[in-house]
Structure 1
Amino acid sequence: MTQIVETDVAIIGAGPAGLFAVFECGMLKMRATLIDTLEAVGGQCSALYPEKPIYDVPGFPSVQAGDLIENLKAQMAPFKPVELLAQRVESLSPEGEGFVLGTSAGNTVKAKAVIIAAGAGAFGPNRPPLERLEEFEATGAVRYMVTRREEFRGKRVVIAGGGDSAVDWALSLKDVAAKVVVVHRRPKFRAAPETAAQLEEAAARGEIELAIPYQLHGLEGEGGQMQAVTLSTLKGEVKRVEADHLLAFFGLSTDLGPIAEWGLGLERSHIAVEPATCETSIKGVYAVGDVATYPGKLKLILQGFSEGAMAAHAIHPRVFPGQELHFEYSTSKGVGG
């Protein structure tokens, strides 16, 4: 069912910078709506490396990416943002003093200002070229990300890929799944050496099965319920693996999509902004995080956090014209819903 959402600030992108921007807007009594192409918030931190440690977030000597996202979700929770997930912003047009955004799901968002926190752009999985793929995607038998490990308890899982996500989830799911088979076309994995070594050790103990050198060949099952995944070698040898789920980790493709057509003054697929406010060439539209660029820009999560705060303060006069903003520290002000 489509909906029309009226909000103060529409935030495109629900990665770390977008989530913190919700908090900063909330602290200034501005309502926010999050829009993201992925099915869950968190951006790359959730979709690509939820169990990887991050070492340069202030106050955390080390924090797993997934834990950072959970903390950011808890931090913004008091402000109850509207979340429009699994959909892309297809259009942006001015309306009065604000903007109207249309999404691929048919939803309409009316906002007084827009923050683009799209990272490298809209994410979508690199999907394997298999027959009947959509049939099994529809039931969740084929997935490209994991949000709840418990969903795979007692299940037979085939994981395809050779990067960090494939290795991390193989190590994580081996403790809950009935069986984990990792499919890769060559013996060497692209994951971090430490976790790749852990995978080899788990395979030697019989906790994980490695199907090497194989690649995906086909899917078997009825009514969207998977029964097996067939694998093949370059020599044409075929192997059948009984399975309930296929997790395909071939990375995510990124694309700014319609954002690139909004006349925002792109510089090599990045949006040029005013450093003091993060405002783009369109008044009322701001960009923060990895998608934003200006002289001296550093692509760090902490910089995206800072930019979210600057953008929120710059937006305040648009949402509350004529109302003077008195800056207060959160320690004095507290967090109000």
Structure 2
Amino acid sequence: MSHTVQSSDAHRTDVVIVGAGPTGLFAVFECGMLKMRCHVVDALDMVGGQCTALYPEKPIYDIPAHPSIEAADLIDKLAEQAAPFAPTYHLNQQVEKLTRTDEGRWLVETNIGTKIDAQAVIVAAGAGAFGPNRPPLERLDEFEGSGVFYMVRRRQDFAGKKVVIAGGGDSAVDWAISLAGLAEKVYVVHRRPKFRAAPESVARLDALVREGSVEMVVPYQLSGLDGADGKLSAVRVATLDGEEKALPADALLAFFGLSMNLGPIADWGLGLERSHVAVSLPGCGTNVPGVFAIGDIATYPGKLKLILCGFAEAAQAAHAIHPMVHPGEALHFEYSTSKGVPGAA
């Protein structure tokens, strides 16, 4: 069974994984299949990264063998898949220092004093610390958490309500589709008719608009909020020409992306390109020997920011690390269907 340690005692392991999102969790499995032990550090107080913190009930459609799976369910499955390899999770703490030891290993230190000695480090920190981009509206803080939201934790919270969704990316489109049959009314506010979302999702949204299940408010942008005592009553929108109207609303879902901050990772001497860590293929190694980067934080020519690509990068990194942890030991590649999983029937 995996367990969580938050003491300041030093630990020794094979691999430290920075980030407990989907890619980090799958890296535990890939390392475990190659007989490498892992400790995982994450700043959140739970595993799952953005999937758990921002959109646990959001359906994900591009995970192989799952036509649709909610983000929280995906994380549960990944944690279950990693569990046979007994990873140790250090949650609610942030890696601050990365130091080369006299043995040529790495000493990872967190902000609460946890120290982990490891042969290799996998940075799977998404895009670092994250928070929502907040729309520049007066009285915004008055309604945050009661009428203005930047994520959906429980889809059922919006049952029978009038919901305004603002944004032009996947989150806005996906939640408009998801809430269309649940909310009393769904408006989608965007400054132009074109969306930056998966074509199939846009097609589904267009169909809902034609059916009358969703009302498109285009080309408009947010201009104000109405209500009293923390209770939202309307969202005001305006065109670039200043034409304004009010949309009756119980809730505003503002999906304008996340503001990212690499935090201490930016000071580790890794090759950075536009707040991402440059890696080389195969193996996803950085410019610092023994440090690897996978998932959204990693960049290379042709990179696709998809969870499934992060899974493949986790496998590459694990195979690149194996000779460091088990020097001189030949790695005979076997499929999991042939070798099985420890503890599995």
Query: Per the shorter chain, which TM-score range?
Result: 0.7 to 0.9
Q: Is the 8 A contact 2:167 2:256 kept in 1?
A: yes
Query: 1:169-215 CA deviation, whole Å, 9 max, x = no partner?
Result: 11110112222121122344444454334334423433223333322
Tell me which of 82, 89, 96 is aligned to 1:91.
Answer: 96
User: Deviation at 1:259?
Assistant: 2.0
TM-score calculated relative to the size of structure 2? 0.71
Q: 1:24 aligns with which of 25, 30, 33?
A: 30
Q: Percent identity?
A: 52
| C-alpha separation in 2, matches of 1:231 and 1:4 | 50
**2:335 and 2:194 mapped to 1: Cα distance?**
50
**AA of the residue aligned to 1:127:** R
Q: Is the 8 A contact 1:142 1:245 kept in 2?
A: yes
Secondary structure in structure 2 of the residue aligned to 1:22: helix
Matches within 5 A, 1:120-135: 121-135=128-142
1:195 to 201, 207, 223: 201
CA RMSD of aligned residues (A): 4.3
Alpha-carbon distance in structure 1 between the residues aligned to 2:69 and 2:30: 23
Distance 1:240 1:222 in 2: 15
Q: State which of 211, 214, 223 in structure 2 corresponds to 1:208.
A: 214
Q: Secondary structure of the residue that 1:130 maps to in structure 2?
A: coil
Tell me the distance in 2 between the aligned counterparts of 1:235 and 1:99: 57
Q: Which moved more, 1:180-189 or 1:282-291?
A: 282-291
State the number of aligned residues.
Answer: 324
1:33 aligns with 2:79: no
Q: Secondary structure at the match of 1:180?
A: strand
Q: Given residue 243 of structure 1, which amino acid in structure 2 is its aligned partner?
A: A
Query: 1:146 is matched with which residue?
Result: 152
Correspondence for 1:250: 256
Q: How many angstroms does 1:148 deviate by?
A: 3.4
- TM superposition score normalised by structure 1: 0.72
Note if 1:184 corresponds to 2:206: no
Q: What residue number does 1:163 align with?
A: 169
State the Cα distance separating 1:72 from its structure 2 match: 2.9
Letter of the 1:202 partner, please give it: L
CA drift at 1:335: 3.6
> What SS is found at the alignment partner of 1:234?
coil
Letter in 2 for 1:82: Y
Amino acid at match of 1:32: H
Instruction: Return the alpha-carbon distance in structure 2 between the equivalents of residues 292 and 84 of structure 1.
Output: 22
Q: Is the 8 A contact 2:132 2:258 kept in 1?
A: yes
- 1:1-337 matches, within 5 Å, as 4=7, 8=13, 9-27=15-33, 28=35, 30-35=37-42, 41=48, 43=50, 51=59, 53-54=61-62, 60=65, 66=71, 71-78=77-84, 79=86, 82=89, 84=91, 89=94, 91-94=96-99, 98-102=106-110, 107-113=112-118, 114-119=121-126, 121-137=128-144, 139=145, 141-222=147-228, 224-266=230-272, 269-273=275-279, 278-292=284-298, 299=304, 304-312=310-318, 330-331=336-337, 332-336=339-343
Residue identity matched to 2:107:
F
Deviation at 1:219, TM superposition (A): 2.6
Aligned-partner residue type, residue 341 of structure 2: G
Give, in angstroms, the shift of residue 90 of structure 1.
6.5
SS at match of 1:154: coil
User: What are the ranges of 5 or more consecutive residues in structure 2 without an aligned counterpart?
Assistant: 1-5
| Mapped partners of 1:284, 1:101: distance in 2 | 16
Counterpart residue identity of residue 233, structure 1? T
- Give the counterpart letter for 1:334 in structure 2: V
Give, in angstroms, the shift of residue 279 of structure 1.
4.5
Tell whether the 8 Å contact from 1:100 to 1:108 is kept in structure 2 after alignment.
no
Deviations 1:232-268 (A, max 9, x none): 3334343333333211122334454432221123356
SS of residue matched to 1:41: coil
Residues 270, 293 of structure 1: 8 Å contact kept: yes
Report if the CA contact (8 A) 1:37-1:123 is conserved: no
> Partners of 1:92 and 1:302 in 2: how far apart?
29
